[in-house]
Amino acid sequence: MDVGFVGLGAMGQGMARSLLRAGHRVSVWNRSPAKAEALAGEGAQAVRSPAEAARGGLAITMVADDAALEAVTSGEDGVRAGLPRGGLHLSMSTVSPATTARLAKAHAAAGQALLAAPVFGRPDAAAAAKLFVLAAGPADALERARPLLEAMGQRVFPLGDDPAHASLVKLTGNFLITTVIEALAEACALVEKGGIPPARLVEILTQSLFAAPVYQGYGKTLVEERFSPAGFALPLGAKDNRLLLQAAEAAGVPMPLASLVRDRMIAALARGWADLDWSSFGRLSREDAGLAKGPPARAGT
Amino acid sequence: MDVGFVGLGAMGQGMARSLLRAGHRVSVWNRSPAKAEALAGEGAQAVRSPAEAARGGLAITMVADDAALEAVTSGEDGVRAGLPRGGLHLSMSTVSPATTARLAKAHAAAGQALLAAPVFGRPDAAAAAKLFVLAAGPADALERARPLLEAMGQRVFPLGDDPAHASLVKLTGNFLITTVIEALAEACALVEKGGIPPARLVEILTQSLFAAPVYQGYGKTLVEERFSPAGFALPLGAKDNRLLLQAAEAAGVPMPLASLVRDRMIAALARGWADLDWSSFGRLSREDAGLAKGPPARAGT
Amino acid sequence: MDVGFVGLGAMGQGMARSLLRAGHRVSVWNRSPAKAEALAGEGAQAVRSPAEAARGGLAITMVADDAALEAVTSGEDGVRAGLPRGGLHLSMSTVSPATTARLAKAHAAAGQALLAAPVFGRPDAAAAAKLFVLAAGPADALERARPLLEAMGQRVFPLGDDPAHASLVKLTGNFLITTVIEALAEACALVEKGGIPPARLVEILTQSLFAAPVYQGYGKTLVEERFSPAGFALPLGAKDNRLLLQAAEAAGVPMPLASLVRDRMIAALARGWADLDWSSFGRLSREDAGLAKGPPARAGT
Amino acid sequence: MDVGFVGLGAMGQGMARSLLRAGHRVSVWNRSPAKAEALAGEGAQAVRSPAEAARGGLAITMVADDAALEAVTSGEDGVRAGLPRGGLHLSMSTVSPATTARLAKAHAAAGQALLAAPVFGRPDAAAAAKLFVLAAGPADALERARPLLEAMGQRVFPLGDDPAHASLVKLTGNFLITTVIEALAEACALVEKGGIPPARLVEILTQSLFAAPVYQGYGKTLVEERFSPAGFALPLGAKDNRLLLQAAEAAGVPMPLASLVRDRMIAALARGWADLDWSSFGRLSREDAGLAKGPPARAGT
């Protein structure tokens, strides 16, 4: 298929490469052009605007936040201006349900469709085409996009025809990951002060009741305090937490555990950890237990 | 082997039967004798005191809390009085590290050993000999007990020679389960108010990043609000939370997430849910979101 | 002095009347004109737009939130368009520091000044000219506005020349009030279950260490559960809490107690209490303790 | 009157001196005898046991915690053994309602009475006879003790005939003080990062809605970070918080704000602040906001 790909960050690069590997013709655009040129050397075609990327009728966006998505979608250089009638915007960024709903409406008014398809997985999963894809929007849009989604992910989970639902489930999933980080962090601090190696705790947990990738991955990260380089940076995690809490407030749902994570993340940012992985807030449990001293280690230092 | 088994509650019954199935000779004692008699019909020998159960040199205890463990261990009818020198107390209840340490010391003074071996798993896992066993105490005690542990569980995790460590890891594991309940409960309330079936959320999570038994089991329980009959009753869960917070305070570890769960459990008990499963506190997230009305359903009503 | 008054809600009415009583010439505007006409019968002059109210060179605004303040300030009918160069906008609403800063800049660009002067006190204090006024902005603006502020309040607290500071202190004060509500609510639930009349607790506290108006007022409200009619409605309180948390996040300050209040307020709104006083979230402590049943009483029902 | 005084810590000394000043005959006992001898030089009579102090028929106890109160009350050297039938134990320590109830019962069985009379106020208030006294127990016991209570305090608040009620209200009052500390600490961190001197915030608050001694005193302590020497040491504060949470759990009352304070106190103790004033946990808000660096200042260093 002909597809435009907008947004070549750590995630987008891997996803665009997955499409190329699967034989699709991919035109790419990125705010800083160097990344697009790198992809061009691998068979993609670099174009000069999101609008141009969208001209073939199907554009994927994978950008950092709601504002960036608005910026590449709207305006005369945006995806909406470039897409023909009948075109499809495959919106894969993690954004608020409200933004997704607003853009879906604007596309519909232009005779276009929006399929929201945010993903679970970090850059390594993107590179290996092992993402989990949530997909919500018109049924025919999903069928049209399916070959692309399957080229980028290991599994696609349909979520019905309201695109905002995919955004909400994505934020909810990220929330659940943060609860694992907080829970493991508190648990590790406790056993460490009790004289038990936290690595042993994580080993036992992940070989019994908690044998899930998320406990294995973050358990290891927390025990080794390997927060740098960041797989998913703390400010982005804080952004997702903020979007979740806004959605929860709008829906009338108190989420005290999400509030707890919020305060942890702000405290971590206030310590100057914006360059670290979002899981670094878990280190605060060690600080509060009197275990951690000094700043966390940075890669290459 | 000859083994005495003290405590035939929902867990103990299944564990004693596993021992019988594996060909061990089991003498049993329970505070209310009817349960011991039932086991006697299946090949066990009912005895008249924990001391008598311990006479053969190896006694297992599986009781509800620290006080019950003290009661069956100490005094002239207790395990310690019954065990010969060189005897082994296999203490499998979930109790505080402090109680475990105190009993270990008392046994040592009597020339006996204590191996702490609490388990992960609910009554169905006990019945199916699928428990996960944590084991800490003298190395030779572990080797001696291993055939019994393997008859009751699917896997044994050694935790070194300090028996209190097994109790601490067990409490920590139960804490982590409660964090899953709270996290899922908040997440389900959010998506439910957003128009997405919570069952669909749980399905997606447990087929992607959260493919662990604990998310599958409690996800289903929460979505179906099937809190009755209780697999593990709320007052017992509240007891474990209390022991955890006490251990954490003694160790100097603040655990705000455990505190959050504490307040949830107290609120659930204050609503009269003492007969329900400990996961019933997850229903408070739906109440707080204005979703749940009226008391939760009880089995058979 | 000649002064325009924009916003005749429960607070604004009392404040405008205080100005009239002090002999100032007041032109009034309100979104729904009936209230302006009522004031006209007491000596004020009803005008047709915020701009017209501002024409005399000094306009006071007292509206519900940031959006309303933006609406009456900007645009061709707004205060900024009406004020002459050298004019003064006395902004008394509770809004975000960011909004205050942005409006101050826009006024400065128009050769005008903004003095932020939010107040502590409820409608009865507004009617009695007993408000406490926080004031920040250019020193000469404060001197110019002082006779008006003193006509409306019992005391003026200068806060320097940055108008945003007054907004921040005002939000902080409201936060502190919510902490009193939450603290008293938990305390009253505890003693009530312990068999002590909560009214007796409040009486003792407010005659000893907590002899402050805020404990007296909210203590009485909580004990009597007199949340209706609302002196300050819950959605407005939730708005202030939201602004506070946003300012705190922007400043890098975790505020777990404000987060706790946030979750309480959302839970109260989810129960349908939007018509009640903001202190009604304190009732949740009684619900969580199993004390309160059924919806809170409404005035006149 | 003839009165025995047991426990001459920072509080007890001032209280015993108030009794001497009022003309009462006071026999004193303290675990470490040096303090009793100091009082002896001021007109008191040092005795050799709590029992001996109680022989005259009325004994006051003012000790650190439940265990110390048990120790000076029970046993052959204890107050109960020394008091004649008809004697009165005036129990002024801050202890759990459960301990108070148990001791009251034991005294009643011995034909004696217990009046629980814990106090609000720090050592300076004790020295100045400015304490606030809560009093619960048999009505005639209160009348008998009144001259003593009035010699030590500025006001006596009767709380009915159940002695445990005085203990519960005392713990509740201490809880409320901790909520003021936490609230002020968060508020001060916010305005400090916003560029406003926290001292100015405290000044404004305590001259308007929060004009209560507790805001004035702790506001000043927090702003100046004057946590050393401790007026009321952190471990004692943590003890009171623990007793409160135990009483709340027993009564079925979730108190999330008390839980928040609990976690703060544990974090402060884990940082090595056991020698500091209990309000020192408020400094954690500055740490979490990235403001405080290094350990807090100690007196004389």
**Is D72's pLDDT higher than 90?**
yes
Using the Cβ of D288 and the Cβ atoms of chain A, whether some distance falls under 8 Å is answered with yes
- From the candidates C35, C170, C193, C239, give the one annotated as an active-site residue: C170
Please provide residue D117's backbone torsions phi and psi, each rounded to the nearest 5 degrees. Answer: -145, 60
CB D116 within 8 A of CB D91: yes
Reading the block at residue A299, the tokens are 């890669």
Instruction: Tell me which amino acid residue C289 is.
Output: A
What distance in Å separates residue A281's CA from the closest CA in chain C?
Answer: 12
- Rounded to an integer, what distance in angstroms lies between the CA atom of residue D242 and that of residue D248? 10
Confidence of residue A268 (pLDDT cuts 50, 70, 90): very high
**Is A102's pLDDT higher than 80?**
yes
Reading the block at residue D285, the tokens are 């808000």
- From the candidates A170, A193, A239, A293, give the one annotated as an active-site residue: A170
CB contact under 8 Å between C253 and D196, yes or no, is no
- Tell me the H-state helices in chain A: 10-21, 34-40, 50-54, 66-73, 79-82, 97-109, 123-127, 139-152, 163-193, 198-206, 213-224, 234-251, 256-270, 283-288
The pLDDT value recorded for residue C202 is 98
The pLDDT value recorded for residue D253 is 98
Structural domain boundaries of chain C?
2-161, 168-288
Using the Cβ of A272 and the Cβ atoms of chain D, whether some distance falls under 8 Å is answered with yes
* DSSP state, residue A278: G
- Rounded to an integer, what distance in angstroms lies between the CA atom of residue D222 and that of residue D284? 11
Q: Which of A288, C254, C79, A186 is nearest to B175 (CA)?
A: A186
CB A85 within 8 A of CB A113: no
- Maximal C-alpha separation, chain D: 65
CB D152 within 8 A of CB D139: no
Beta bridge partners of C153: C131
The pLDDT value recorded for residue B300 is 75
Instruction: Tell me which amino acid residue D54 is.
Output: A
Q: Which residues of C touch A281 (CB under 8 A)?
A: none
Q: Which CATH number fits domain A2-161: 3.40.50.12780, 3.40.50.720, 3.40.1080.10, 2.30.30.30?
A: 3.40.50.720
Neighbours of B85 (CB within 10 A): 8
Average pLDDT value for chain C: 97
Reading the block at residue C133, the tokens are 């006024």
Helix (H) or strand (E) holding D45: strand D45-46
Q: What percent of chain A has pLDDT over 70?
A: 100
The pLDDT value recorded for residue B301 is 61
- Contacts with D, C 64-93, CB within 8 Å: none
Average pLDDT value for chain D: 97
Average pLDDT for C264-277? 97
- pLDDT tens by residue, chain B, 301 residues: 999 999 999 999 999 999 999 999 999 999 999 999 999 999 999 999 999 999 999 999 999 999 999 999 999 999 999 999 999 999 999 999 999 999 999 999 999 999 999 999 999 999 999 999 999 999 999 999 999 999 999 999 999 999 999 999 999 999 999 999 999 999 999 999 999 999 999 999 999 999 999 999 999 999 999 999 998 999 999 999 999 999 999 999 999 999 999 999 999 999 999 999 999 999 999 999 999 878 899 987 6
> Which residue of B249, B269, B287 to mutate against D (max D Cβ within 10 Å)?
B249
Instruction: Tell me which amino acid residue C225 is.
Output: E
Q: Which residues of C touch D231 (CB under 8 A)?
A: none
Using the Cβ of C295 and the Cβ atoms of chain B, whether some distance falls under 8 Å is answered with no
CB D171 within 8 A of CB D249: no
Report CA-CA distances (Å) from B131 to A184, B149, D71.
Answer: 22, 9, 45
**Matching residue, tokens 């010439």:** C25
Report CA-CA distances (Å) from D121 to B134, C208, D124, D132, D236.
Answer: 49, 10, 8, 7, 14
> Which residue of A265, A284, A288, A291 to mutate against D (max D Cβ within 10 Å)?
A288
**Is D111's pLDDT higher than 70?**
yes
What CATH number labels C168-288? Answer: 1.10.1040.10
Average pLDDT for D193-209? 97
**Is D299's pLDDT higher than 90?**
no
What distance in Å separates residue B124's CA from the closest CA in chain D?
Answer: 31
Q: How many Cβ pairs closer than 8 A exist between chain B and C? A: 19
D241 → chain B, closest CA residue:
B249
Q: Which residues contact C115 (CB under 8 A, 6 or more apart)?
A: C88, C89, C90, C91, C135, C136, C137, C138, C141, C142, C145, C163
Neighbours of D108 (CB within 10 A): 12
- Rounded to an integer, what distance in angstroms lies between the CA atom of residue C35 and that of residue C13? 8
Q: Which residues contact A162 (CB under 8 A, 6 or more apart)?
A: A101, A136, A137, B195
pLDDT tens per residue across span A188-226: 999 999 999 999 999 999 999 999 999 999 999 999 999
The CA R_g of chain C, rounded to the nearest whole Å, is 20
Report CA-CA distances (Å) from B219 to A159, A206, A211.
Answer: 18, 18, 15
Neighbours of B32 (CB within 10 A): 9
> Which residue of B262, B271, B273 to mutate against D (max D Cβ within 10 Å)?
B262
Distance between terminal CA atoms of chain D?
Answer: 45
Q: Which residues contact A135 (CB under 8 A, 6 or more apart)?
A: A115, A116, A117, A142, A145, A149, A156, A157, A158, A159, A166
- Rounded to an integer, what distance in angstroms lies between the CA atom of residue B148 and that of residue B153? 9
- Pairing type for strands D58-61 and D88-91 reads parallel
Write a three-state SS string for chain B. CEEEEECCCHHHHHHHHHHHHCCCEEEEECCCHHHHHHHHCCCCEECCCHHHHHCCCEEEECCCCHHHHHHHHCCCCCHHHHCCCCCEEEECCCCCHHHHHHHHHHHHHCCCEEEECCEECCHHHHHCCCEEEEEECCHHHHHHHHHHHHHHEEEEEECCCCHHHHHHHHHHHHHHHHHHHHHHHHHHHHHHHCCCCHHHHHHHHHCCCCCCHHHHHHHHHHHHCCCCCCCCEHHHHHHHHHHHHHHHHHHCCCCHHHHHHHHHHHHHHHCCCCCCEHHHHHHHHHHHCCCCCCCCCCCCC
CB contact under 8 Å between A252 and B215, yes or no, is no
For the ranges A154-158, C229-233, D199-203, which has the lowest average pLDDT? C229-233
CB contact under 8 Å between D248 and C190, yes or no, is yes
Using the Cβ of B271 and the Cβ atoms of chain C, whether some distance falls under 8 Å is answered with yes
What distance in Å separates residue C141's CA from the closest CA in chain D?
Answer: 20
pLDDT tens per residue across span C107-149: 999 999 999 999 999 999 999 999 999 999 999 999 999 999 9
Please provide residue B256's backbone torsions phi and psi, each rounded to the nearest 5 degrees. Answer: -60, -30
Reading the block at residue D52, the tokens are 């001996």
- B262 vs D259, D264, D269: nearest CB: D259
Q: Which residues of D touch A289 (CB under 8 A)?
A: 267, 270
What distance in Å separates residue C51's CA from the closest CA in chain D?
Answer: 32
For the ranges A165-169, C169-173, C297-301, D170-174, which has the lowest average pLDDT? C297-301
- C248 vs D97, D190, D205: nearest CB: D190
Using the Cβ of A190 and the Cβ atoms of chain B, whether some distance falls under 8 Å is answered with yes
CB B53 within 8 A of CB B73: no
Report long-range pairs for C25-30 (Cβ below 8 Å, ≥24 apart). C25/C1, C27/C2, C27/C3, C27/C52, C27/C53, C27/C56, C28/C4, C28/C53, C29/C4, C29/C5, C29/C53, C29/C72, C30/C6
Reading the block at residue A185, the tokens are 């962090």
Burial bucket for residue D248 (CB in 10 Å: 0-12, 13-18, 19+): buried
HSE-up of residue C79 (Cα within 13 Å, Cβ side)? 35
- Rounded to an integer, what distance in angstroms lies between the CA atom of residue C149 and that of residue C129? 9
The pLDDT value recorded for residue D28 is 98
Q: Which of D298, D270, D275 is nearest to D284 (CA)?
A: D270
D239 → chain B, closest CA residue:
B249
Please report, to the nearest 10 degrees, the dihedral formed by the alpha carbons of residues D286, D287, D291, D296 taken in order.
Answer: 90
Left, alpha or beta for B43 (phi > 0: left; psi -120 to 50: alpha)? left
- Do C2-161 and C168-288 have matching folds? no
- Rounded to an integer, what distance in angstroms lies between the CA atom of residue D205 and that of residue D180? 12
Q: Which residues of B touch C272 (CB under 8 A)?
A: 290
Q: What percent of chain A has pLDDT over 90?
A: 97
- Rounded to an integer, what distance in angstroms lies between the CA atom of residue C284 and that of residue C267? 8
CB contact under 8 Å between A209 and B172, yes or no, is no
- Pairing type for strands B113-116 and A25-29 reads unpaired
Burial bucket for residue A34 (CB in 10 Å: 0-12, 13-18, 19+): exposed
CB contact under 8 Å between B270 and D254, yes or no, is yes
pLDDT tens per residue across span C176-201: 999 999 999 999 999 999 999 999 99
Q: Which residues of C touch A263 (CB under 8 A)?
A: 254-256, 259
- From the candidates D130, D170, D220, D239, give the one annotated as an active-site residue: D170
Burial bucket for residue D287 (CB in 10 Å: 0-12, 13-18, 19+): buried
The pLDDT value recorded for residue D300 is 75
Reading the block at residue B133, the tokens are 């066993």
Left, alpha or beta for A234 (phi > 0: left; psi -120 to 50: alpha)? alpha
Average pLDDT for D200-211? 96
- D252 vs B242, B249, B269: nearest CB: B269
CB contact under 8 Å between A257 and B134, yes or no, is no
- Pairing type for strands A119-120 and A131-135 reads antiparallel
Instruction: Tell me which amino acid residue A131 is.
Output: L
> Which residue of B122, B170, B210 to mutate against A (max A Cβ within 10 Å)?
B210
**Matching residue, tokens 């000649």:** C2
Average pLDDT for D257-265? 98
ipTM over 0.85: yes
Three-class SS state of D39: helix
The pLDDT value recorded for residue D293 is 79
What distance in Å separates residue C254's CA from the closest CA in chain B?
Answer: 14
Three-class SS state of C114: strand
